[in-house]
Every structure is written in C-alpha cells, then in structure tokens.
Chain A
Amino acid sequence: MTRINWPDLLFGLFLCVVAAVVLVATRKLSFGSPADMGPGFMPRVLSIGAAGFGLVFVLRSLAIGGEGVEVPKLRPILGVLAAVAVFALLAAKAGLAIAAFTTVVVAGLASRETRLRETVVFAVGLSAAAVILFVLLLDLPVPVWPRF
C-alpha cells in the first residue's frame, strides 16, 4: 500500500467532490459575460479551479508514491462530536448548567486517560463557572435551568 500517497489522494478526491457539489448546486444560476457577470460566474470558475487542483493531487499521489495516512481512531472523533451535539441539543431547552456539565463529561470520554470521578467533579466546577461568567456577567441569552 505504500505505492500511493494517501494524504494527497484523499485531499484531491475531497476537492473534486466539493467542486462537483458546487457545480451541481449552482447549475441554474446565470453565468453572464465578463462585462456583466451573473451570480453563477464565480462559483463556476472557482469550482473548475478546485477540480483542477483535485485532479492534479490525485494524479500526483499515484505518481510520487510512498506515504500512508494514520488510521483515524474513532474514540476521539466520536467523543468530541458527541459533546458538541449534546450541547446543541440541550443548551436552549435544559439550560446551560446541565448542558455544560454533560458536554464536559461526554467530551472527557474522548480520551482514554480520562478518570471519570475527576472529570465529573471538574465538570461541576466548570459548569458553575460558565453559568456565572457567560449568563450572569456577560448576558448570554440561554436559560440556566430547564424551562417547563
């Protein structure tokens, strides 16, 4: 598997996908002429540029060879993303106190080094600090406790 330069290949494919999405999504916008550009001018020019870069990377990755990509570990990714999702779902309804606590605990799960008891204590403190700092002092418009 060392024949292929994986970082370049993946990045190139990513660029091609983005370019394709943009081209499809803006296909109905008028291109116009250089003197009187339509809203579709820039998206098309740029996505063709992105696709060009993408192809170069894909071809180059097959030619220069020799670099693997570290296999992503699921735990950090899922932990951090879940923590953000929990915040987005909870903050407006359950209030910042509960949302902040849950976010910190869930984020803690992302690391193998986390000690649960320590993190829970830390999360209580952090949640209190966040409520005082952001809601009471800086007037962030979220409730502190659940609204019924």
Chain B
Amino acid sequence: MDLFDNLLLGLTTALQWQNLLYCLFGVLIGTAIGVLPGIGPIPTVALLLPFTFGLDPSSAFIMLAGIFYGAQYGGSTTAILVNVPGETSSVVTCLDGHQMARQGKAGLALAIAAISSFFAGTVATVVIALLALPLAALALQFTAVEYFSLLVLGLIAAVILAHGSVAKALAMVVLGLLLGIVGIDVSSGASRLTFGIPELGDGLDFVPIAMGLFGLGEIMANLDRPRPRQLVSSRVRDLMPRWAELRQAFPAMVRGTAIGSFLGVLPGGGAALPPFTAYAMEKKLARDPSRFGKGAIEGVAGPEAANNAGAQTSFIPLLTLGIPSNALMALMIGALMMHGIQPGPQIMTEQPQLVWGVVASMWVGNLMLLVINLPLIGIWISMLKIPYRLMFPAIVLFCCIGTYGIANSMFNVWLMLGFALVGYFFVKVKAEPAPLLLGLVLGPQLEENFRRAMLLSDGDFTVFLTHPISAVLLAVVAILLLAMLVPAITRKREQALAE
C-alpha cells in the first residue's frame, strides 16, 4: 500500500515538533492577512520567503503552504462579519454569510465556514495523495515535446479561467514571457535585454515584480477611491451549530468539496472559480432558491468547502508536473528553485519527504485552523478595526524589506518601484496582472523545451502533433481557444466570473 506508506511518511514529517510550529505559524499569519482586506497571500509569501532559506525545505514549504490555505480561511471571516471579502475567493461568502451575521447568527456562519473548510481540506488531502502518484508516473514519460505542449496548455487555461478580458490576459502572458527572456541565455551565453546592467544577468527576480504589481500597484489604486467600511459590532455568540443545521449544510459541503477539488486541479482553477461555481450550483439545486442571498446556510457551506478544496488541490499540478496553476503557485515554484529543488515529476521520487510532508501538513493545518480559529475570533475582529490609513504604510514597508531580503539587493527594491508604477497602470487599463506572472515563471522553461524539441526533431514543427500525448494537449488548447469565440460560452463565463 504505497498510499498509506506515503501518507505515513508525510505524517511523520508533518508531526515533527518544529514542523508543527512552522505550520501553526503559517496558518496564523495566513489567517491574519486573510482577515485583513487589501493584503493578500502573494505579498505575504514573498515577504517571508527570504527568511525560509535557513530552514529545511520541507519546513519552509509547510509554512508557506499554511499561509495560503490560512488566508482562504481568514478571508471568509471578514466576508461574514464586515461584508467585505478578505480575499477574492471569499466574495461569494459575503452574500449569505453576512446576511446570517445580520440576523444575529454570525457565530453559526463562522462555525459552518470553519467546519466546511475542514471537511473539504480533509477530503482534498486524500485526493492529492491519490492523484499525485499516477500523474507523476505519467509525467515521467514526458519529453521536451510533451512538456512544451503542457506548458502551453497551462498558460492558456490559466488565461481563460482568469478574470477579465481573454485578449488582455493573453497579451499579459506574452509580456510575462518577454520579461522571462531578460538575462543571460543558457544555451548561447549571450546576454539578452540586460541593457548593460550586471544585476540583470541572472534574470529578473520574481519577488520584486510580484510585490510591485500585486502589493504596491494595488495600494496606489486603492488610495484613489475611498473605501467604505462598516463593522458588525454585535458580539459573536453560539458558535456550536445544532445538529439540524449541520444536517442541512452537509450535502452542500460534499458538493462544494467535489467541485473545488476538480476545479482546483485545472490550471488557473486556483481560488476564485470554485466558490462561484459551488454557489451557483447550490442555488440551482435548492428547493427554494429565493432563500439565497438572505442567509441560506448552504450558501456558506458550499462555497467555503469549494474554496478550501480548490486551494489545496491546486498544489497537484505544482507537485506532480512542476506547473503552477495560479500566480501564488508560481511563487511557490520560485521558492522551490531558491531552495535548490527543480520542480517537476522527479520531485516525487527525489523529495518524497517534502512532498508528502506538505500534503500531510495541510490536513494538520486544517485541524489547527478549526481548533484555534474560533477561540481567536476576538483577535481577528480587533484587527479589522485597524484603519487602512495605518495599514497601507506598513504594507509598503514590509514590501521593501521583503524585496530587499530576497537577494540582499537594493537593485530589487528599485525594480519593485518600477513595477509598482506598471502595476498601477495595469489597474487603470483593467488588465489583470496574474497571467504576466505565470508567463514570467514559465517562460524560461517554455523556451528551453521548445528549443530542445526543435533540436530533436530537426526543426520539424509537426513533431508536436505526431506525439500522441502532446497532440491531445494541444487539441485541448485549440478547443479552449475556439470556445472563447463562441458568444454563448463567453457570456456564460462572464456571468460566472461577474461580481
């Protein structure tokens, strides 16, 4: 029983006391930034990344992963109590969760969100364990040809499932790929786009760009528009749900988990899509859809489960294929490389302790969240009282320190400054920066595999269609792109991503 051996190995890693500590630290930080609107997991992971260099890679990863799913969890607290999503993934939770809070059932809504997340997290952990091995085995047969097609699929799928205009997102991928070119070309030794700056020889660091685009650019755009904030001051009571309420929520949890696990695996599925889909489904299945938007318990349970399941299964493409499914996973790839680990199918066999340790820690972390979060709710509420006028200067400072820390280089701080301006421009012209980040991270791999495939096939472009796996992957790309040209599907997509 490989599965049990692996999970056991994972648990022994995750349960080492220092790893438990890092996991706890990760989920606490994650929840805190999840609760605070205006700061997301991407700048936070980037900020803490440099300080994990001294750690064992598995400890570092357990902590960074904890930040991610902790943030998903914290985001719903803000959604329920303040009607402002702490994270984009908790937008839907606002709808019914906040209504429940208005009816004096804030405690129940928080508890249901927590229980749904824990349930989903448990199932998703098993899903990862089950899917990882076959996928990794498949990936081991991949040559440069299949890799190239897979990378193309990953990029295109991420674009289509992302928010906003598809054309803009595709253009952003191209921009990201162009940024990926900067540095000394590995095969020829020629320096490209370095403009004679020695610091650019190793290529652009990922972190300053992510911090500039996501952290600072967003702040500047936020300061443009005043943000209203209303706080629910009612005390949170009655945390334990009654049996009847649990029974009512349970089917929604199961469905949400299934949707989230499935969508999370898809490239680009990440965190935003699953809760929307789950909410739409619950509304459709309900006997009385008019209850939704007025405090329906299923409207909290389903999306929350989907959200957490999706957050976790989005690790599958990263761990098995070395392909990130969203911007945060792209950052995780960067983190792996900085720890000297080449992401890809071989990671399963070479670093079993790391992979299974992280998988098992997700379950442990979810348990911690369930146990510690509800008692800590008072702290989270008081954090929500920190005004934005104090919070954003703190974020600016932490972005500076984090960017400097990544390579102890002031050049990176200046680079971040430049990309902050670019990020602000992107917000103004309504272009979503996440695809750019994916392009930047995957660009070098894409070029290398393309070159290798061309070298092997002697410059014959049909090689991508004569290899069966590659042909299937490219066919999926073609179908996805064609589907975007069909107006009916485009409208459905806009509906699903609206709000």
Interface of chain B residues 97 through 133 with chain A (CB within 8 A): none
CA–CA, A41 and B9, complex, Å: 46
Which of A11, A46, A139 meets B177, CB within 8 Å?
Answer: A46
Q: Does A15 contact B (CB under 8 A)?
A: yes
Q: B195, A104: Cβ atoms under 8 Å?
A: no
Contact yes or no, B223 A110, CB < 8 A: yes
Known A-B contacts A73-B224, A85-B417; the reply to A42 vs B410 at CB < 8 A is: no
**Chain A residues with CB under 8 A of B281:** none
B469 interfacial by beta-carbon distance below 8 Å: no
A107 in the interface (beta carbon within 8 A)? yes
Please judge, given known A-B contacts A18-B178, A87-B413, A88-B417, whether A43 and B192 are in contact too, CB under 8 Å.
yes
Partner of A39, one of B185, B223, B392, B397: B185
- Taken residue by residue from 279 to 290, chain B's Cβ proximity to chain A (1 for < 8 Å, 0 otherwise) reads as 000000000000
Evaluate contact between B171 and A15: CB separation under 8 angstroms: yes
A80 with B401: CB separation less than 8 A: no
Chain B residues with Cβ below 8 Å from A8 are: 429
Among B168, B195, B223, B461, contact of A76 (Cβ-Cβ < 8 Å): B223
Which chain B residue lies CB-closest to A129?
Answer: B394
A134: chain B residues at CB < 8 Å are: 51, 401, 405
Partner of B400, one of A35, A84, A119, A141: A84
- A39 near B190: Cβ-Cβ < 8 Å: yes
Number of chain A interface residues as a range: 35 or more
Residues A25 and B424 in contact, CB atoms below 8 Å apart: no
Q: State whether A111 and B223 are in contact (beta carbons under 8 Å apart), knowing that A39-B190, A46-B177 are contacts in the complex.
A: yes
A87 to B394 alpha-carbon distance, docked (Å): 13
Q: Is the interface of A mostly helix, strand, loop or mixed?
A: helix
Task: Give the CA-CA distance A29 to B182 in the complex, in Å.
Answer: 13
Q: Point out the residues of chain A lying under 8 angstroms from B457, CB to CB.
A: 35
Q: Which residues of B contact A75 (CB under 8 A)?
A: 223
Instruction: Please judge, given known A-B contacts A7-B430, A103-B396, A110-B223, whether A50 and B405 are in contact too, CB under 8 Å.
Output: no
> Are B190 and A84 neighbours in the complex by a CB distance under 8 Å?
no
Task: Determine if B429 and A53 form an interchain contact, defined as CB atoms under 8 angstroms apart.
Answer: no
Cβ of B416: which chain A residues have Cβ within 8 Å of it? 84
Which secondary structure characterizes the binding site on chain B?
A: helix
Shortest beta-carbon distance, A111 to chain B, in Å? 5
- Kindly state whether residue B25 has any CB partner on chain A within 8 Å: no
B219 on interface, CB distance cutoff 8 Å: yes
Q: Which of A10, A33, A39 touches B429 (beta carbons < 8 Å)?
A: A10
Which stretch in B16-24, B322-330, B447-455 binds the other chain?
B447-455
Q: When the two chains form their complex, are residues A18 and B175 in contact, meaning their CB atoms are under 8 A apart?
A: yes
Instruction: Tally B residues with Cβ within 8 Å of A.
Output: 62
Tell whether, in the assembled complex, residue A53 and residue B170 are in contact, meaning their CB atoms are under 8 Å apart.
yes
Interface pair A72/B224, CB less than 8 Å apart: yes
Interface string of B25-68 (1 = CB under 8 A from A): 00000000000000000000000001100100000000000000
Residues from 129 to 180 in B contacting A, C-beta threshold 8 Å: 167-168, 170-171, 174-175, 177-178
Give the residues in chain A near B389, CB-CB below 8 Å.
Answer: 108, 111, 113-115, 119
CA distance A110 to B417 in the complex (A): 15
Q: Which residues of A contact B455 (CB under 8 A)?
A: 35-36
How many angstroms between the C-alpha atoms of A130 and B431 in the bound complex? Answer: 34
Does A22 sit within 8 A of B, measured CB to CB? Answer: yes
A126: chain B residues at CB < 8 Å are 393-394, 397
**Mask for B351-395, Cβ within 8 A of A = 1, else 0?**
000000000000000000000000000000000000111101110
B414 contacts partner chain A, Cβ-Cβ < 8 Å: yes
Cα A91 to Cα B408 with chains together (Å)? 11
Q: Does A56 contact B (CB under 8 A)?
A: yes
Q: Show 27 residue pairs from A and B whose CB-CB distance is below 8 angstroms, ordered by the A residue.
A: A8-B429, A11-B171, A18-B175, A25-B195, A39-B185, A39-B192, A41-B451, A42-B450, A50-B174, A53-B170, A70-B224, A72-B428, A77-B421, A77-B424, A79-B223, A80-B396, A83-B397, A85-B417, A88-B417, A103-B393, A111-B223, A111-B388, A114-B389, A122-B393, A139-B54, A140-B401, A141-B408
